[in-house]
Structure 1
Amino acid sequence: MLQITPGRIPLPVVNTPEKIQLNRLSHVYHAHPDLDAFHAFAKDFGFVEASRNKDTVYYRGYGKDMCAYVATKSNDGERHFNGIAFIAQTEEDFIKTSKLEGASPISPYTGPGGGKIVTVQSPSGTKVHVLWGIEERPAPEKAVTATEIHKGAYNTALDKFRKGEFQRFKIGPAMIHKLGHVGYVTGMFDEDVAFYTQVFNFVPSDVLWEERDGQEIDALTFMHLDHGKEYTDHHAVFLSRAPPNFEGKHRMHHSSFEVEDFDTQFMGHEYLLQKSYTPIWGVGRHVLGSQIFDYWKDPSGFAIEHYADGDLVNVDNPTGRFKSEGAASMYIWGPVRPEAGVA
């Protein structure tokens, strides 16, 4: 049974061997009404098509994951968020996932890299896919870029590392390295937080709270995968508490993909503008997580983000807890945040 604390995340959250250990985030699933329109956007956004199977297209970055994004054709003409995929730390962890209440039978994974897959659901109904035995791509020796002509070291005011060497770039897609994080709005915030932190090795990196009806209520949490002393991304999943008038159980917020650096990101941003895609917010820099960000609306209306220069944390970083200051909590510089946010 999940131990639920309404309104507040019990801190500190500690990882234990009994929890199912996840190694990393792998890919995200979306269904699109117009798969061809999304495919054109995906290439311009910086994805590489890895494989295709009937009405499913698998996209990758240049990192070790065989897949970072799975796009399927919608069966009902509506867009759908179909869950998040993780790689288990061990086969034992994978098997433990298959024994959770409501877990699907273990089945072959039909995407690139093979292996096996099992699917469970969070209390709000969000699908969590866990994989094992999937083949990996060779670890990249350098970043893949479509925007770089020549890039040397970065010169600062006092340290001049690049001498007699010129920075040269061109407009082009910001090539994706990997899926960095996925976030969604949930009408069962407390239950979903308990699911991720009690069943799996998720630990909140930062929590934002707000005052509702005279009480401190946790409104948003950024959660990382705890690997002890090993540093991992500041968040692989974030959850946002749904407002009181929320309809349904959950709603996709955005998925976010890592690119090499600020120049890559900004060149990709300009490229998407030239292609007449719809920007939502950015370029700017977040406060929590520190990422340089830009958000876009894909042809189906999903929000999708490029990011660079994100924070890393480990077991020595205590969970931060901060009062939400609205937009001021979200970014330190950048254009004014749109009132609707990025959802």
Structure 2
Amino acid sequence: MNRHIDAHADLHSEQGARRGEHPGRAPNPIVKVHDLAWLEFAKPDLDRAEMFAHAFGFTTASRTRDELQLRGTDAGTPCVIIKKGPRSRFLGAAFLAADDADVLHLAEATGRRVDRLPESLGGIVVELADPNGSSVRVVSGVRRLPALPAQTPVTLNVGRTAERTNATQRPPREPVSVQRLGHVVLQSTTYLETLNWYLQHLGMIVSDFQYYPGQRQRGPVMSFVRCDRGDTPADHHTVALTLGPSNRYMHSAYQVCDLDTLAAGGEYLRERGYRRSWGIGRHIQGSQIFDYWRDPDGFLVEHFSDGDMFDAALEPGWAPMSASGLAQWGPPATSDFLGTAPGRESLRELRATISSLRGDNEFDLQRLRGLLKVASS
């Protein structure tokens, strides 16, 4: 593709890369995945997980004694697969290939075998591991669930344009209906190696880079990565990768209808005792309206609406990272969202930081200073 567009020359993002900086894409990737198919988790209590899932806005697609499949209203695969296990943990992500030929080609190029997926999913899969050891499955031919009835956006009167007359606005305080899985955010001690792996193996491309203030010369520490669908627009990011002292899941995001359903669904969650982590606001990178929640196992999950869609022509933006730069509007990022609130998670991250600084990875003392500066900004 010969045309290149820079839509980042604005208040929030510097105008593109400097000479010699990361191009944000691989010159000859093995395949180009089409989308994120589903995420997999292990949890000890499937009943508790299903109760929260329904309050959050999922529908149960399938339930056995040992596995729970959750879906949105859009046609397609389940969004989340939860397997019964002794402890709560993130198991990995599955990506949808364009066709069976890409799965076969990826398997041949990586020396992996192609397997059949379980009957409940159908199709074929090649299973890889990214540089962090996280499972990455690429699938095709999977069974598509039919669409379910979806929530309808509210009709808005904007300015003096009266689209709604003789009728009130009363969005019901009920669970929002999740439409689909949008993205997953992962932290890595080998951020650059991991980024390059996703670009090369899955053909993904970077929408936005971020770097620690004063450390741009050392390269980026976070990237928002989308699928390359050519002229067809894709989500601003399907995967986001960030440098940190441990390899871990950070959050996943699920699209909902609009701001009103997001807010009313949030009130429904709050009234049932679930914990909001941060929100409501609008992001800068990706532009999504967001609302973050903790599930009963401590996993961070996001409702979002109105995200950016980019085609393959758009070049990456570059911007300094800061806590205040996470949103255009909304409350300040909370210590819970940033992972600095006192508790088990922050204690684990502190231990990981000490271990990481002693190890052979990309998270060194200078990077730690940059991260602390971001957290305090």
In the superposition, the TM-score normalised over structure 1's length comes to: 0.87
Partner of 2:334: 338
Cα deviation, 1:72-103, whole Å, max 9, x if unaligned, reads 1123xx22111111111021111122224363
Q: Which runs of 5+ in 2 are unaligned?
A: 1-19, 340-377
| Superposition pairs of residues 1-343 of structure 1, within 5 angstroms | 10-13=22-25, 16=28, 18-75=29-86, 78-101=87-110, 103=112, 105-110=113-118, 112-138=120-146, 144-145=150-151, 153-211=155-213, 215-242=217-244, 246-247=245-246, 250-324=247-321, 326-342=322-338
Cα deviation, 1:236-283, whole Å, max 9, x if unaligned, reads 0000101xxx24xx1110010000100110011000000101110011
**CA offset at residue 184 of structure 1?**
0.8
d(CA) in 1 for partners of 2:198 and 2:98? 15
Does the 8 A contact of 1:186 with 1:239 survive in 2? yes
Q: Which runs of 5+ in 1 are unaligned?
A: 1-7
d(CA) in 2 for partners of 1:330 and 1:303? 16
d(CA) in 1 for partners of 2:191 and 2:140? 28
**CA offset at residue 26 of structure 1?**
1.2
SS at match of 2:212: strand
Alignment: residue pair count = 320
Does the 8 A contact of 1:179 with 1:258 survive in 2? yes
Shift of the 214–95 alpha-carbon distance from structure 1 to 2, 3 Å rule, reads closer
d(CA) in 1 for partners of 2:81 and 2:21? 32
Deviates more, 1:175-184 or 1:78-87: 78-87
SS at match of 2:155: coil
Does the 8 A contact of 1:303 with 1:342 survive in 2? no
d(CA) in 1 for partners of 2:304 and 2:119? 25
Cα deviation, 1:122-144, whole Å, max 9, x if unaligned, reads 1111111111111223456xx61
Question: Aligned residues: percent identity?
Answer: 30
**CA offset at residue 12 of structure 1?**
4.7
Does the 8 A contact of 1:293 with 1:306 survive in 2? yes
Partner of 1:4: none
SS at match of 2:49: helix
**CA offset at residue 341 of structure 1?**
2.6
**CA offset at residue 36 of structure 1?**
1.7
Does the 8 A contact of 1:224 with 1:234 survive in 2? yes
More strand by share: 1
Equivalent position amino acid for 2:97 in 1: A
Tell me the C-alpha RMSD between the 2 structures.
Answer: 2.1
d(CA) in 2 for partners of 1:152 and 1:207? 34
d(CA) in 2 for partners of 1:144 and 1:214? 44
Equivalent position amino acid for 1:57 in 2: L
Partner of 2:11: none
In the superposition, the TM-score normalised over structure 2's length comes to: 0.80
d(CA) in 1 for partners of 2:109 and 2:275? 41
